[in-house]
Amino acid sequence: MANKYPISIFVTVPYTDIATISNATNNIIVTAQHMDGISPGRGMGYVLPNSIKNAGANATFLNHAEHSLTTSELVKSIEKANELNILTIVCADSIAEAKALSMLNPDIILCEPTELIGTGKTSDESYIIKTNEAIKSINPDILVMQAAGISTADDVYKTISLGADGTGCTSGIVCADDPKKMLIDMIEAAVKANKE
């Protein structure tokens, strides 16, 4: 399905499913839920970047609300991802955090206020516009995703129409009556918004 649409589709998967999903498709960007900025050697219990890369992940989330990182940890993880050609999607909770994270030059910043995650209530227009502008003013090459509370195709359309490069969704898809239809509707809304 992903090869029908002219957009990049990131699919975030559990570590144990990275290889299986990567081997089953050529049209999505398989994304790890996290990785640590470590090299082969010591690191019991940490997520080794080389392992997720070898399993087929080409991107990783960092600093999600459920797995926040210190600035030092983020710097190490982004540096290691850059060494291995792994795209970094770094989560920001606020406009101030989005500005600070822009200085680390990740590939993508995902803006989502923690209190809205999984609620079905999206960020307001002001937050979306201000975070888009704040990030682009520091580094125009960073892509901006807006994702908190996205649960309908209309949410996707509105978010991208307000200037975001992309959006994301988990509960809105997996909890939908027809998850496959919801996914297709959201992708088509993103394509339409990008064209307009």
133 is catalytic: no
**β strands within the chain, DSSP E:** 10-13, 29-32, 59-62, 87-92, 108-111, 143-146, 166-167
Q: What angle (nearest 5°) sits at the alpha carbon of residue 138, between those of residues 134 and 140? A: 95
79 is catalytic: no
Which one of 34, 64, 66, 125 is the catalytic residue? 64
C-alpha–C-alpha distance, residues 167 and 185, integer Å? 13
Q: Which of 143, 133, 140, 152 is nearest to 190 (CA)?
A: 152
Burial class (CB in 10 A: 0-12, 13-18, 19+), 62: buried
Which one of 34, 112, 115, 125 is the catalytic residue? 112
C-alpha–C-alpha distance, residues 36 and 45, integer Å? 10
- Catalytically active residues, by annotation: 64, 112
